[in-house]
Structure 1
């Protein structure tokens, strides 16, 4: 992102913060008693180059993946739930009389993420699931909409979701919005969220922090997970 764009965004954030705080926005939802890590679409079609869904590679390689590795290490050591979310479709012919793509293919090229090509929707090998972690296949932007996510989180006593992944303006944001609507405390992990469009991450994280969840650093989130682990031991 260019310095000029960042300067413009920071000016907008400063002005918006004044308005929000005057009107009672930007409150804290806070960390709860038991977190789960919900990693949204950090699969090869998004994390690796050469795909319509490919996100900012510099941020992906230098911030998101290393941050995810830190989080995964903490969650695994604490034996806390990890859900890897990915997206793919079984019927990708846009002219088919029936398709699991719904209407979304009329807006974005979801037809390229074919369930038959596992390499596309497989979670990036640098943060690949291990035994005991769950991979959830979604069809829409939100990880909650039409999926089993809320049910399995509740069944496992989870009250807080640490959300990472892509994209900030769509699947991550929708997951956070639906998460708080379903009664979970959403925490957006700042360094572990990306997008394709310059400025989209900064703007969406600012707006999410004002309305739908707390934005926290990866280090703060790791400290929280370690504290939970110590409490449970």
Structure 2
């Protein structure tokens, strides 16, 4: 039985996707293995949250100027083409937005504002690993009455993990979609479970969001 202090409240949940951009897809020069492969599960989650009229926030990276993680500054300074503003690679992976979806508004995002992509659906730029660091994510979620955040997306050891720690630190109930996250491992799952993250497969999340009662 899940601890009642961490158990998800599906009726007040939001989905947060992390770095599901084309440059990070499997097979790209700087891509992460397994990221393209989770798109079907991620689409199921997105469809369920849209159908339930629950908020969705797509967190993205944009590398411009010198405001870059130290570990990637040499790459970017050397001309590395990775999620640069204006490039095709910084767009969300195909199929994650309804229809063709709007282009990302780089200036709006780099200014630290949320871009509306659809009904209760947004994009936010994060300048570092964690989705809450120097972003309006907490304010956006609280404004929608959210107390439970479901995470999915690219590269569990880095940005999703940092984002989940940020969510736990802000007293959100946190869920990880175990089959909609790339670079996952049993060790990674144990570590995030140890801070109160609830591990749930996509099919169960879809069922609970669709019929939260």
The whole-number CA distance in structure 1 between the counterparts of 2:135 and 2:205 is 26
The verdict on how the C-alpha distance between 1:213 and 1:119 changes in structure 2, with shifts beyond 3 A counting, is: same
The whole-number CA distance in structure 2 between the counterparts of 1:221 and 1:137 is 25
**Partner deviation per Cα, 1:54-76 (whole Å, 9 max, x = no partner):** 111xx4344x1111111111111
- Aligned residue in 2 for 1:23: none
The whole-number CA distance in structure 2 between the counterparts of 1:203 and 1:44 is 27
Q: Does 1:159 align with 2:147?
A: yes
Q: How does 1:30-45 map to 2 (within 5 A)?
A: 30-32=7-9, 33-45=11-23
Residue 202 of structure 1: how far off its partner (Å): 2.6
The whole-number CA distance in structure 1 between the counterparts of 2:75 and 2:193 is 27
The whole-number CA distance in structure 2 between the counterparts of 1:70 and 1:164 is 11
Residue 51 of structure 1: how far off its partner (Å): 2.2
Question: What value does the CA root-mean-square deviation take over the aligned residues?
Answer: 2.2
The whole-number CA distance in structure 2 between the counterparts of 1:114 and 1:55 is 13
The whole-number CA distance in structure 1 between the counterparts of 2:36 and 2:82 is 22
The whole-number CA distance in structure 2 between the counterparts of 1:107 and 1:224 is 44
Which blocks of at least 5 consecutive residues in structure 1 are unaligned?
1-25, 92-98
1:176, 1:212 within 8 Å by CA — same for their partners in 2?
no
Residue 50 of structure 1: how far off its partner (Å): 2.1
TM-score by length of 1: 0.74
Runs of 4+ in 1 over 3 A off after TM superposition: 59-62, 106-112
- Aligned residue in 2 for 1:143: 131
State which structure, 1 or 2, has the greater radius of gyration over its C-alpha atoms.
1
Which blocks of at least 5 consecutive residues in structure 2 are unaligned?
102-117
